[in-house]
Structure 1
Amino acid sequence: MASSSQEPRRDDVPDERADSNSQESAVDAWSSTAIHQPTHQPLHHAVGFWHPRMRKVRAHVIVLWLRTVLILTVFILSILSLYWAVLYRVEENLRALTVQVVDFDGLVEPYTGGSPMIGPQVVQLTEQMLSMSGPSLGYQTVLASQFGYDPLKVRASVYEWD
């Protein structure tokens, strides 16, 4: 019980809200100094990029800029030169890319009943494209008899690069 007698009672603790005069005077003192009298000074002054005190910052910025320019230059000369080399003389090299045209129109069951229409026109169109002087693919007309009149053998020759 001795410990309970040593603890301050709630009535003995001073209440800050009870003393309104001291709070008002503290607010008045704070507002008069904070608003009317600034208590801090500016910590830095703005200087230009070429100012002598900016030497280290300037050197760092220049090194970063030179590194960026070097990376871009290496990229342009290595990667983009490969891209430009691929596009060099594309139109002259198109005829080296061969496309075989095989006409099965009217030659394979169950399509032997009518007269062929589309197949002969496609073959004629590819021959016209080859005879033109402009750039075109290297079309080759192949007879269906070379594949035994079997469309699956044509597909197999495409996959096997025959």
Structure 2
Amino acid sequence: MTAKPADTPTATPIVDQHQSFTCTPQRVWDGDGPIWCAEGPKVRLAGIAAREMDGTCRAGHPCPPTSGFEARNVLANALLGDPSRGSIADAPTGHLVLKGDVPSLTCVSEGSGKGSRTAAWCRSPAVGDLSCFMVRQKMAAKWDRYWRRHSC
């Protein structure tokens, strides 16, 4: 993995575009990320938009019908896969913390996802392509501007 520091004081690595990398999820914020990876990057799932945790959708973003909390919970469960492998706990910051034997994701970077996040297409051993999964579950909406020619 080739990574460069983001322009932030905490220097979260942004994975270079088209680079493959592994992400072992530790925390998740909402239905399109970020997902904090044990390896360093924070991943924003590419090609989709989910509601914010306060229930709003940002101007100019697609707006799915599902709440931010429901989308976040579905994503966290998909990341964990088999519930017997680990657990999900609420953090005081509003994140969900994934504990135990959390399976690693295989991701391909689209470059910066704004801020200190890497936009990426990620595959989970439990559900396959996470962006496709979240759209199929109606937890997120396809964002045509970023979806491009991606196929599920």
What range is the shorter-chain TM-score in?
A: under 0.3
| Larger Cα-atom Rg | 1
Normalization by structure 2: what TM-score? 0.21
Which of the two has greater strand per residue? 2
More contact order relative to length (CA 8 Å, sep ≥ 6): 2
